[in-house]
Each structure stands twice: as C-alpha cells, then as structure tokens.
Structure 1
Amino acid sequence: MKTVYLANEIIHSFLPIDERKVQNNWNAVRSSFTHKIIVLDDDPTGVQTVHGISVYTDWDEDTIEQGFREEGQMFFILTNSRAFTSKETEQVHRDIAQRVENISAKLGKPYLIISRGDSTLRGHYPLETEVLRSTIEENSGSKVDGEVILPFFKEGGRLTVDNTHFVQQGDVLVPAGNTEFAKDRTFGYSKSHLGEWIEEKTKGTYRKEDVTYISLTTLRSLDYEEIVRQLLQVNNFGKVVVNAIEEADVRIFTTALLHAILKGKRFIFRTAAAFTKVVGDISSRPLLSREELISEGNDNGGLIIVGSHVQKTTDQLNELKTLSSLHFIEFDAHLVLNKEAFKAEVERVRLEAERKVGAGITTVIFTKRERLDLGVGMEEQELKLSVEISDAVTSIVRNFSVRPNYLIAKGGITSSDVGTKGLCVKRATVAGQIAPGIPVWKTGEESTFPHIPYVIFPGNVGAITTLRDVVVTLESK
C-alpha cells in the first residue's frame, strides 16, 4: 500500500455516487427511526456539522431528562473528557450511561448513544466506550452487539480508505499514524490501519482479523443487503470499521445501519462529527455571516483565546499576527510552577485585555507556544498542570469586566473550558459554522455574556489562513 495518496486521486478512483438514489433509500428508512440520539462530546468541536441543536454542559439526571423531553431528536452533552484523567473519565461515563438508561426506561424511549471523538484518533479510547457498554448492559439486561468506528470528517480532511485513516495535508493524504497527532503525549498511537489501531489501543483484546470492515466498494455499489448482513453478524461488542471519503458514504452506511437496528441489533459509536450530522438527519446550511452573529450597538472589541499547541494552531496564530488592527498578549503558562508569579501573570493579562477590548480593539490572548515538559513518565502530572493553566485562562474570561463583541477560543480543551468555566454556559444552541469545521454557539441566558457568539475553533482544523479569515469576517463592518 502506498504511504501517501493524492486526495483528488483517491476521490476519483471509486465509483461515483448516485446522490438521488442514496437520498431516496435514506428517506425510506429514516422516518421509522425514532430513537433519541445522545452525543457525548469529548470536547466542544463535535457540533461542527450541526445547527439548531442543544448542547448541555452538565450531565445531571434532570439535564439528561430535559434533553430526552426536547422536541428535537438529538442533543449533545459536552463532557470535555479529553481533559480528564482516566479515572475521572471512567466515572463520568458510568454516571451518564446509568442515568441515560434509567431515563430511557422511565420515559419508554429507546436511544442511540454516540461517543464523539477526535477525527485524528486522540482521546480516551477504548475506555469511554467500554465503560458505556458495561454500564448499559448492567442496567438494561441486554447486550450491546458491536461498536462502530467512523472517524471520517471531510471538512477537516480526515478520510478512511482501504481501512486506513488519513489526514489531508495540502493535496496529500498522510496516514494518521505518521502525523503530529499520533505523537500526542497523552493519547499517542502508531497505527494508521484502523484494525491495527484497534488492536493497538485495546492491547490485543480485539484483533484486526476479527474486525468487520465496510469497504468503499460495497458502499459505492449501494449493496445495502451486504452491509446489513455484515452488521447482523456482529456480536460480543465486535468492532465495525467504516471507510468513507464523502458524506454520501456515511449516509449509505447509516441507511443499512438503521435497517440492522430496526431488526434488533444494538451498537455504540465512536465517530467524528460527520456521522452525527447524518444519523441526526441535520440539513446543510450556508456558512454564518457577520450580520447573523454580531449585534449592532456594541463598540467593544472581540476577545480571542489561543490555547492549542499543535503546529497548525501556531501557524494560524502567526498568520493572525499579520492583522495590525489586533492587540496580542502572550500568557506565560510556564509560571504555573510558581504559584504567586502565576497569579500575578493572570491578573496582568486580564487587566491589559480589558483595557484594549473596552477601547474597541480586538485582543488575542495566547499561551506560550512551548509545551510544558516535565519529562518521561510524567504525563498525568502534566495533564493536571494543564488543567490549572486552563482554569487560569477561563478565570480571565469569567472575571472579564467588559462584554466582548464576540469570543473565539482556539483548541478543543481550551474552548470547552472557556465555554463551561469562563462563559459559564449550561445550555447553548449551535448556530452553525462560520468556516468549514468551525462551529458557533449562541450562549444561554445564564452565561457570563448572554447571547454572545462563541466561536469554537478546533486546534487541528483549517488552513494556515483560516483563523485570520474568521476574524476578518467578524471584524468587517
């Protein structure tokens, strides 16, 4: 197999899709599917593909019941578990699964649960879905037949071909295991073939030979019967890997999946954002404009928080610095090792940012670009320090005395913490995307700044110019 592919070469090497036929087949089964769809998001970027959907930032029993009782079929729970320790993640997912199962039984409403993970394969896998499975089985008395792995996310250039997951870089598709994301200090991996990745992450509990693979050839042949047959044979929490290079591939698979579910099969899902849009039957909509987001009458500047340390974010930050109208403040996060100096640094940054935003100047607060490195074997300690740093950044937002015109947070964990601990959002509505893969919340009445447009910018999405382009859109009058 080739190490890399040209993206266009791959897309044009498979049978074209008859979109009309795919849509007709989808429509024929979708109306019969009435399960409540619950998406557990390990950071807030999982709403990238949806709009008009509620996002809840806690998982109390009353909150989950509110989601079940909503008129809409789908709701998100933001766990932000990628910032958690393994122990914390296990407890959160056990609590959620138990409450979901209880409320489902109470209301007589079946459900489908999705663990929305990173399209570059980072996160607490297989821990999260294993805990969901065991808790659901303990509380329901029924078995979960399988787990669907579907990390395809076209907007971010994440394609799965020949069972191998790729990340698009320019015109080239690079195997995910050869990217910087695979070198993540907490969630690293080495395999790009998803069967091998499953074997690696489960430490051999599930072997690549035992994985069920849904091929692009089968999908493009519209062989629904074959896909249903494959799904009906899955048991004992067997793994199902879905290849996809276009959203229509996901729709073809999901059509067959719903037939299998209606025949009694039960699955848990570990997917990126594309699957949530398709299974939730969410329509596409144009990118959001400034006029849809910014209310006239507020002459203050915007506030931009940059926390992600992936190279793409640093490159995007450097490109943003070419906008001379913005003010930039570096936050020295390494001072976290000196508590008094760190406290003083937080105060300095907040006061300077307040002055500038109040004067109508959009201000960018960015953390020191060098990652704090405590050495080998110190990953859990580094994670705890990163939480302290994130808490400090979010306190700047929470205590901010000036209402910004808009707020952008760069990075998955950063944007989650800014949303929940800084803006104190309990429930938000997803407005849509301001750029491909970049969602916007409208904050709830209870938040620090009610009804503010909050742009959630993943660390690993967009071209070098995308952050700059988003800011230009919001600044243009």
Structure 2
Amino acid sequence: MTVNSWPAVRPVPAADVRAALAGARRVVFLDDDPTGTQTVRDLPVLTRWAVDDVRWALRQGTAGFFVLTNTRSLAPQDAAARDREVVEACLTAAERDGIRLAFASRSDSTLRGHFPLETDVIGELLAEHGGAMDGVVLAPAFTDAGRVTIGGVHYLRSGDELLPVADSEFARDATFGFAASRLADWVAEKSGGRIPASEVVELTLRDLRGGSTDSLRDRLTGLSGGRVVVLDTAEDDDLRAGVLAILAAEDAGKSLVYRVGPSFVRARTGQDTPPPIEDDALAALVGRDAHGLVVVGSHVGLTSRQLTKLGERREFVHVELDVPAILEHPAEHIDAAATRAAAALERSLVVLSTSRTLVTGADETESLDIARRVSAALTETARRAVARRRPAFVVGKGGITSSDVATGSLGIRRAWVRGSMLPGIVSLWEPVSGPAQGLPYVVFAGNVGDENSLADVVDRLEAV
C-alpha cells in the first residue's frame, strides 16, 4: 500500500508542540551513535555522564539533551552496563534538581542496534527509582533521509519507490541483521518471541491523521507493562501528532520510554525543520590557518561512492589504514599513518580512512571485536594527527566512527549542536570543553545523503 492511499496529512505545527512542552518532562536522548543530532539545533550534547555533567545539561533549560552512549559499538552486556550508568546518573541529577525526566533510546533509522535490551534497561532503572515503564514508543523514522513507517511497515525511500527495510543492505548487517520489515514482527524477532507481534499496538497514518489528540492520548493511556506501540510516520506532521498525544498521556501520569530515529528528536523538542547552519555562523567557527581532516570508518556503499565523488571534485591527501595490518601489527602502522596525516594537514585536506574491504569474523561476537579494534586504531591515528597539527575542522564519517572521533580523538565532553550542514542531515557540533574547544566537528552518518553530499559539506567548510 502506498502513502497516497492513506488519509491526507493533518498539519500539526511545531508551535503546537512547543506550547505543550510547558511543564513537560525533559528528555534525555541516549544516543547509540552521534547521528541523532543531525535533525536539530541548539541542544546540549554530553559524551560523559558524571552527575555534574548531567546537571550542566539540565541547567541549559532546553527541552532535552543528548548523552552519547555509543552502545551500538558494544557487545550486549557492555551496552546494558553503560546504559545503566547513564540512566542512574541522569535520575540522580534530576532528583537533586527536582526535574522530571523522560528517556529516549535514540538509534538507527534502518533498525540496527540493541533492541529491546536498551529500553528494558531504562525500564529496570525507572522501577528501581520507584517509577515504571508503562509503554515503549517505537518510531524509527528519519523523514529527511527517506526512512518512513506506513501501515506499521518500515521503508527506505528511493526516488518514488519505497523499499521494505528488510530488503535493504542494512538488514544484512553482520551484527544487527534482521528479516522483518513490519515493525511488530521485527519486535517479536528481536525479542526472541518474548514480545509477540500480536501484542504490539500500531498507530497508523489513519489514526494519526484522522484522530484527535484526545483519542490518540486515550490509546496511549491504556498502555501498561511496557507494551510496545509503533508510530507510523510519513511526514513530520505525523510525528508531531503522535508527540502531542504522548505529552498528553504523560501529563495524565503515564510513563513512556521512546525507541526512536532522528526525526522524533526534532518533533519531541518542538523544533521545525531547520535550514542548514548559516554561512556567518559557520565562518565564526572554522579555522582559517589550516586545512580540514575527514575521518572515514563507514563501510556502506554510499560512503565509498561519496569518497569517490569527493576525489573527482578536488584533490586531497588520502591516508589509508590497512585493516589486515591493523589486526596484525597496529602500533607501527598507526604511528606511520598519524605522522603522514599531520604533515599533510599543513598543505591539504586530508582524508583518513580504513581500507574499503570489510573484514568480518566467524560470528557476531568476533565481527564486533574486529570492528572495535579497527575503530580504535582509526581513532588513535586521528588523535595523534590532531595533537600534532590542529585542523580547521574535523568530519567524522560513519556513526560509530563519529562517536569514537568525538570522544577518543578530540576529547569532547560537552558540546552544543549548532545545526545541520545540509537540509535535515549532517550535524555540526561546537565543543565547549576539552582540547577541542571551539573546533568545529561535523557528524556525518555513513548512510545519508547522495553521492555528492560529502563533497558538498567539505566545499561549505572550506568556502568560509
């Protein structure tokens, strides 16, 4: 069924959500990689979660803030442990300051990540602090990148075509692969049958576009025991209709946890679709006496094509880490690559990447271990290069890569999301602490944009 066979969009202005946010719970977006920030602007980001860090974010007075957990790169038990640390710190800080919180597990719009593990952990911590998790809102849409949910089925848009997500390359992910495109079936698959598809509630476009906020709220207030509700989304208005109902249900006393893609962040914080960051704001951040560094770890096909287009448009020095060499003798390989990258920053844009051949292990655990070792080598190489020669800007290409570069290479602890580099995608952070304070950092997911997007971003950064 196509989106055109559903009722017409019901306009829901972002201003209506902002009005409903008065007195609402502040949202902690536990971001399993940094790309959840690309749809919004002017929200705080934490990469560490000491209680003092959380209290700093709460004092900024925004509708929500991000905590970068990077759990998508971790084994399940490590991801659960990290989530527990973060949620515990956030609840402790909120209790000290008398602030009510809601929690969002922000993950991939192509359904890769630890689910239902992460929402389970949040529910356990809420219970330990005397609360509850009545329901889990599942809304993975990323409308700017064409990831939509229609009739409970999640799709990737390509031109005028909608591809069921299970038919995409992302469903064959070595660590987080899956077989179902209907989200209720995906929930059953990922929970190992613990959550049957028949128990998943679906709020379809017909409900969101044809119902009132009160009727939608009543559907949500009937949730209990952590029941999952799937939120259809073809347009941001659909999400905002759902968010108004969520806010009303929470005001009525319901405790909801969100498992969401990037677009929900924008809707839940009451933001319109912002234009890309202005040239004047960009010029105030980008250094003028150096060249930029692009760090690439993503192996999806789109990233490889974007690198090719970047090379066709302009010259750069390409420093490549050979994955087999990293696994066999990392120390000397890292040192040589860092030395070459730092020297090249004196005269040129530098692209630091891993070799494009994906190396996987015999099973999920071994594949994840290889990915972590390769990411650690890339991060350390970037750290040494930046320490020797501060660049004008840094771009992290790939979700896990951009997280590791932020924390390991640049030492970012607190930052602000200043806006997107392209319409609705690719966010720019301004670090406000640590050695990278003031150094513009661009978070660029591996699977967004078109073949020219990376070159377009680099062009914007260098033009100012």
Tell me, yes or no, whether TM beats 0.5: yes
Q: Does 1:43 align with 2:33?
A: yes
Q: Secondary structure at the match of 1:440?
A: strand
In structure 2, the residue matched to 1:386 is 371
Structure 1 window deviating more from structure 2 (66-75 vs 427-436): it is: 66-75
8 Å contact 1:160–1:245 — kept in the other structure?
A: yes
Question: Closer, same or farther in 2 for the Cα pair 1:346/1:182, shift >3 Å?
Answer: same
1:475 counterpart = 2:428: no
Give, in whole Å, the separation in 2 of the partners of 1:221 and 1:428.
40
Equivalence for 1:347: 335
Match of 1:200 in 2: 189
Name the amino acid aligned to 2:121: V
Change (3 A) 1:197 1:62: same
1:56-135 matched pairs, under 5 angstroms: 56-135=46-125
Post-superposition Cα deviations, 1:240-285, rounded to whole Å, max 9, x if no partner, equal 0000111010111111111111111111100011111111123443
Shift of 1:18: 4.6
Match for 1:179 among 149, 168, 175? 168
- Residue 287 of structure 2 contacts residue 391 of structure 2 at CA under 8 Å; is this kept in 1? no
Please give the secondary structure, in 2, of the residue aligned with 1:177. helix
- What letter matches 2:346 in structure 1? G
Note the C-alpha offset of 1:384.
2.1
Label 1:58 to 1:25 Cα distance change in 2 as closer, same or farther (>3 A): closer
For 2:92, give the aligned amino acid: N
Aligned residues of 1:329 and 1:366 also touching (Cα < 8 A): yes
- Contact 1:212–1:230 under 8 Å retained in 2: no
The alpha-carbon deviation at position 210 of structure 1 amounts to 1.2
Q: Is the 8 A contact 2:18 2:270 kept in 1?
A: no
1:149 partner SS: strand
Does 1:404 pair with 2:391? yes
Equivalence for 1:428:
415
Q: Tell me whether 276-285 or 87-96 shows the greater mean CA deviation.
A: 276-285
- Closer/same/farther in 2, CA of residues 297 and 418 from structure 1, 3 Å limit: closer
Could you tell me how far 1:24 is from its partner in structure 2? 6.8
TM-score of the pair, normalised by structure 1: 0.92
Report the Cα offset of residue 358 of structure 1.
0.7
SS in 1 for 2:77: helix
Give the counterpart letter for 1:409 in structure 2.
G
Identity of aligned residues (%): 31
Structure 1, unaligned runs of 5 or more? none
1:437 maps to a residue whose letter is: I
2:336 partner amino acid: R
Q: CA deviation at 1:27?
A: 5.4
Deviation at 1:289, TM superposition (A): 4.2
CA distance in 1, matches of 2:278, 2:321: 30
May I ask how many residue pairs the two structures share in their alignment? 460
Does residue 298 of structure 2 align to residue 308 of structure 1? yes
Q: Is the 8 A contact 1:150 1:270 kept in 2?
A: yes
User: How far off its partner does 1:23 sit?
Assistant: 5.3
> In structure 2, do the counterparts of structure 1 residues 352 and 171 end up closer, same or farther at CA, with 3 Å as the change threshold?
farther
For residue 227 of structure 2, what is the amino acid of its counterpart?
G
CA gap of 1:344–1:27, structure 2 versus 1, over 3 A, is closer
Structure 2, gaps ≥5 residues long: none
- 1:432 Cα deviation from its structure 2 partner: 0.2
Q: Which residue is equivalent to 1:15? A: 7
The answer (yes or no) to whether the contact 2:10–2:238 under 8 Å persists in 1 is: no
CA distance, structure 1, for counterparts of residue 98 and residue 280 of structure 2:
43
Q: How does 1:54-453 map to 2 (within 5 A)?
A: 54-140=44-130, 142-295=131-284, 298-339=288-329, 342-359=330-347, 361-375=348-362, 377=363, 379-400=364-385, 401-435=388-422, 436-447=424-435, 449-453=436-440
Are 1:457 and 2:451 an aligned pair?
A: no
- Runs of 4+ more than 6 Å apart: none
Partner amino acid, structure 1, of 2:299 = H
Alpha-carbon shift at residue 28 of structure 1 (Å): 5.3
Q: Please, what is the CA RMSD of the aligned residues?
A: 1.8
Partner of 2:453: 466
What is the SS of the residue equivalent to 2:417? strand
Which of 219-228 and 454-463 deviates more? 219-228
CA deviation after TM superposition for structure 1 residue 433, in Å: 0.1
Task: Give the AA of the match of 1:172.
Answer: E
CA deviations on 1:306-325 (whole Å, 9 max, x unpaired) are 11011111111121121232
SS in 2 for 1:167: strand
Letter in 2 for 1:16: A
Q: Distance in 1 between matches of 2:13 and 2:276?
A: 25
Corresponding letter in the other structure for 2:410: L
The answer (yes or no) to whether the contact 1:294–1:405 under 8 Å persists in 2 is: no
Question: Can you list the C-alpha shifts for 1:69-118, whole angstroms capped at 9, x where unaligned?
Answer: 33223111000111111111111112222232333333222111110010
User: 1:203 Cα shift?
Assistant: 0.9
State the alpha-carbon separation in 1 of the partners of residues 150 and 68 from structure 2: 30
Amino acid in structure 2 at the alignment position of 1:430: V
The offset of 1:233, in angstroms, is 1.2
For residues 169-213 of structure 1, give each alpha carbon's deviation from its aligned partner in whole angstroms, at most 9, with x where no partner exists.
233211111111111111111100000000000111111111111
Code of the residue aligned with 2:69 in structure 1: it is T
Find the residue that maps to 2:406 and give its secondary structure: helix
